[in-house]
């Protein structure tokens, strides 16, 4: 994939300007535990050498979406297109008074002073990519060693990996000195079924009590399309077996996607993914325990 520079034109929007209003009423204090913010480009330039150039998807747009969905807390994940300048994420978190948190992109040799600065700004973890469409992270043993430094400030590791790499990376991830959060159901292929090696490896990894998983991404692992009937069973099984270590997110504004998801529909399928009392755990209790949000308040710009 060609890398992109400052004058690369933006892609068309990846998100819906008018998502449906969910039928499912979320419990008070619910968290959208995986989103990104892009731009505005004039204030927060994109990184040279990136793999994609999104249209602006600003914090004000995110706050308005959450008002519509019934979301009060959120985790904003620093996007690869903005690189390791985490300013766009820090700015959005700051506008919420800490009721939203952030996940940073940092090198493993980042200074202690910078980690402390990011922590004070509301960041709570560091993300590393092991997927083909984004820049590949450092060797996994280097990341696990870096985890010892994260332990000192109470952060976790967030790992975005392709499904076929779960078995390979699992031995190292099991040794992590800090919690590990696996993105998007491990990016398995829903068409291969629940018995596929990648998903079996994810279930095995989840036996380690410090490993968490985001049951976001039914819209990414599907091969059937909306309403993602082939993908929902994967998320539901994870919640049924490891419900105290699952969180969920919309992944708004859906970068590098095959289609434009309806965020209201993504909320509604939670009724199948986390039925009954599990909804409170996945949407409220677990994310509060992992991210330690400040109390919810009215958002600036909403």
Structural domain includes residue 26: no
The verdict on residue 297 lying in a domain is no
Provide the angle, in degrees to the nearest 10, between the axes of the packed helices 87-94 and 59-69.
Answer: 50
**Selected residue with higher pLDDT from 136 and 72:** 72
Q: Would you say residue 300 has pLDDT above 70? A: no
State the Cα–Cα distance between residues 54 and 9, nearest whole angstrom: 9
Write out the E strands in the chain.
31-35, 73-77, 100-104, 123-130, 156-161, 180-182, 211-214, 246-247
- What is the reported pLDDT for 4? 80
If 0-12 CB within 10 Å is exposed, 13-18 middle and 19+ buried, where does residue 227 land?
Answer: middle
How many other C-beta atoms can be found within 10 angstroms of the C-beta atom of residue 103?
26
pLDDT category at 164 given cuts 50, 70, 90 is: very high
Supply the pLDDT for residue 136: 74
Query: Within a domain: residue 186?
Result: yes
Average pLDDT over residues 220-237: 98
CB-CB neighbours of 252 under 10 Å = 25
Share of the chain above pLDDT 90, in %: 93
Asked if residue 300 is part of any domain, the answer here is no
The pLDDT, as a whole number, for residue 135 is: 63
Asked whether residue 4 is domain-assigned, the answer is no
Q: Are 285 and 251 in contact, with CB atoms under 8 Å apart?
A: no
**What pLDDT is recorded for position 302?**
45
pTM, rounded to two decimals: 0.95
How far is the C-alpha of 15 from the C-alpha of 26, rounded, in Å? 21
* CATH number for 77: 3.20.20.140
Catalytic residue set: 251
At residue 130, the 3 state secondary structure works out as strand
- Measured CA to CA, the distance from residue 93 to residue 28 in angstroms comes to 20
pLDDT at 171: 98
- CA separation for the pair 190, 168 (Å, rounded): 20
Residue 108's pLDDT is 98
pLDDT tens track for 67-104: 999 999 999 999 999 999 999 999 999 999 999 999 99
Tell me how many domains the chain contains: 1
Q: Determine, yes or no, domain membership for 16.
A: no
What element of type H or E holds 280? helix 278-280
- Reported confidence tier of residue 231, pLDDT bands at 50, 70, 90: very high
Structural domain includes residue 24:
no
Mean residue pLDDT across the chain:
95
Domain that holds residue 143: 31-291
Q: Per-residue pLDDT for 234 more than 80?
A: yes
Residue 301 has pLDDT above 60, yes or no: no
Place 2 in a pLDDT band, splitting at 50, 70 and 90: low
Residue 149 placed within a domain: yes
Q: How confident is the model at residue 134 (pLDDT cuts 50, 70, 90)?
A: low
């Amino acid at each position: 994939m060609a890398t992109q520079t400052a004058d690369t034109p933006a892609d068309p929007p990846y998100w819906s300007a008018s998502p449906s209003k969910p039928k499912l009423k979320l419990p008070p204090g619910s968290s959208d535990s995986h989103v990104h913010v892009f731009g505005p480009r004039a204030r927060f330039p994109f990184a040279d050498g990136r793999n994609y150039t999104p249209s602006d998807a600003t914090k004000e747009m995110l706050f308005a979406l959450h008002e519509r969905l019934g979301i009060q807390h959120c985790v904003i994940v620093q996007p690869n297109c903005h690189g390791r300048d985490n300013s766009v994420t820090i700015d959005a978190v700051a506008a919420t008074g800490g009721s939203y948190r952030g996940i940073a992109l940092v090198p493993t040799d980042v200074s202690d002073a910078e980690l402390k600065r990011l922590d004070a700004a509301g960041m709570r973890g560091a993300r590393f990519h092991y997927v083909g469409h984004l820049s590949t992270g450092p060797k996994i043993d280097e990341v696990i060693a870096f985890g010892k430094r994260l332990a000192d400030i109470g952060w976790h590791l967030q790992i975005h990996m392709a499904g076929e790499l779960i078995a390979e990376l699992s031995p190292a991830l099991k040794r992590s000195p800090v919690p590990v959060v696996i993105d998007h159901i491990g990016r398995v292929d829903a068409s291969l079924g629940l018995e596929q090696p990648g998903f079996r490896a994810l279930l095995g990894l989840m036996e380690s009590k410090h490993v968490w998983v985001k049951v976001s991404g039914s819209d990414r692992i599907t091969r059937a399309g909306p309403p993602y009937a082939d993908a929902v069973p994967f998320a539901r099984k994870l919640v049924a077996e490891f419900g105290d270590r699952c969180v969920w997110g919309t992944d708004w504004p859906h970068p590098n996607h095959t289609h434009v998801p309806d965020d209201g529909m993504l909320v509604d399928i939670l009724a199948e993914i986390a039925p009954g009392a599990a909804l409170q755990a996945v949407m409220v209790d677990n994310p509060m325990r992992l991210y330690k949000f400040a109390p919810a308040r009215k958002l600036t710009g909403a």
